[in-house]
Structure 1
Amino acid sequence: MPCPLRAPSEFQPATEPGFWKLPHIWTRTKASMVYSTFEQQDSFSEEHSDLCLVQLLGTGTNSSQPCRLSDFCKTLMTRPGCSGYCLSHQLLFFLSARMTECTKGLFRQSQRYMNLFCANKMDLNRRAEAIGYAYPTRDLFMENIMFCGIGGFSKFYKLRWLEAILSWQKPQKGCFGKPAAEDEELPKAIQYQQHLLRRLKRQEKQFTDGCSSHNTAMAVAALGGFIYVLAELPPADGELWPPTPTPPSSH
């Protein structure tokens, strides 16, 4: 289906102060929800994702009410087997639904879908850790912490992951981006993991000094989540846990 580029004004509700609410109820991911296989080719369209988000927000040219969706968007945003880029857009969609207070129809299952997506994002982050946080995996690694942290998934706030992110900052410039030296030859197993974890971005700016605009933005967002959690919860055994995990709300 044809999809014109979305005007920034159509996303204005999501940029307003107070739209994004910090979690006060925490939950954990379940390994049993991880996909047995991921899609080999990332055919997810950002334009289609934009269209569905505009439908959700009710800011399209037809001035529809928020929380109304086409069958196409229902299918796209619940498609199983997504990895990386696709998974992020699916989670962003249901997070936006929560912030918009959509609770009917498909959105009765919002928490279940967020549980599913963050279980798979946790799996991807563990894969990234297992291959030593190779540079192509870092952007998505930090994005996963940002999104699932906002979703209230406490296990993304691991102290060793915080230490890893801090170690990637360029000491002189303060930004995040491509390391000065990166191994050119990697074992095939690691290359396959990177294929799953790599994220292609529509809007990215690489500067001549190695700084990356999106990489830096994801680092700031992830670190902001760590600051919030460190202020709320005391560290214990390398994890940041709520004293008593509480079931999340129904939407």
Structure 2
Amino acid sequence: ERIIKLFLTKHQWSPEQIVGHCKNKSIPMVSVERIYQFIREDKECDGSLYKHCRHNLKHRKRPVGKNSGPIKDRVFIDDRPKEANGERFGDWELDLIVGPNNQGAMVTLVERNTLMTLIRKLPNGKKAEDVANTVFSMLAPYRKHNALLTITTDNGSEFALHKEIAKALNVDIYFAHPYCSWEKGCIENTNKLIRQYIKKKVAFDNYSTEEVRRVQKLLNNRPRKKLNFLTPGQLFYQKLDETNSVAFDS
């Protein structure tokens, strides 16, 4: 605890930076999750450690409930290949957006290199089986096109069947650390763009499948500065053609 407090208060290092530094220096250290838990416990006791975190723990919007146990066999983002940083084609981020009063949900996916966005309503809410089936149906068309390398998501129980998704799509799935939404910032930013059209206070029943597809099309046909003002759709299908050509030539 003394080392954690020192790094937090003197250097304002994040839990990830603390763990990474200690690993490099062969210094015994608890996990990133445990450090966040320690900071939160300190805050609940009127401590001030949270003030030294970049987000002051404001990103901790989800309650830590007794029924929100860890997902089995997760592989955290620490072990994700370094090249899956958005520079190559085929690395995706996955999330859900949820309707008012936690009623209704939509799966959102974004390919990090091209910003190609996919949105699909979940007809039966955010049950893990429905989420797994929906993710599969959204990405299955790209299995044979070298467009599925990794998926990064968060620790919601709706992603409990990640191993089934990984096997069905032949893709590696990684998890951001709990309450570290910035580790999957591409999908977080994409969800904000989606919310321009699918409002937080409007029940999802008011959005038809056709309307959701229209929103998806609008986003994928929007020129993006990050893409030198190409559109996500344009660049995505260009990359598909390129990867298919390489596979065919080899």
> Could you say which structure has the greater relative contact order, defined with CA pairs below 8 angstroms and 6 or more residues apart?
1
Pairwise TM-score range, normalised by the shorter structure: under 0.3
* TM-score normalised according to structure 2 size: 0.22
Q: Which has the larger radius of gyration?
A: 2
Which structure's residues are more often strand, by fraction? 2
